[in-house]
Amino acid sequence: MLNNEFLKDLSSRITRLMPVATDLREEVEKNVQATLQGAFARLNLVTREEFDAQMKVLARAEETIARLEAKLNDLEQAGSASPGGGENDN
């Protein structure tokens, strides 16, 4: 999920843009932060660390697929080069 510090900073910046009395500023800031936190939670966002980890998993999977495709291609070529063309002679 998102870093609480990021939400605090964002809500603080938003409330600084509003002409609000000083005694109401804290309350408005907390409400803005809660609203932002709820909105971001509904978006199903992931952290940069989670994203980077998934990118590494994806890269490893792509490498494995490429190796398996090459191996399958080699096996298919070896099968077609063998006597009988690799097909059943029934």
Q: List helix spans (H) across the chain.
A: 4-17, 22-42, 48-81
pTM here is 0.49
* Domain residue extents for the chain: 1-45, 47-81
> Contact 18/26 with Cβ under 8 angstroms?
no
Of 4 and 87, more confident: 4
SS3 79: helix
Spatial separation of the C-alpha atoms in residues 36 and 6, rounded to whole Å: 10
Q: Model confidence over 61-70: pLDDT tens digits? A: 999 999 999 9
CA distances in angstroms from 68 to 72, 74, 89, listed in the order given = 6, 10, 28
Q: Is the pLDDT of residue 30 over 70?
A: yes
Question: Whose CA is closest to 17, among 39, 6, 32?
Answer: 32
Dihedral (Cα; 14, 17, 20, 24), 10-degree rounding: 20
What's the whole-number mean pLDDT along residues 42-66? Answer: 93
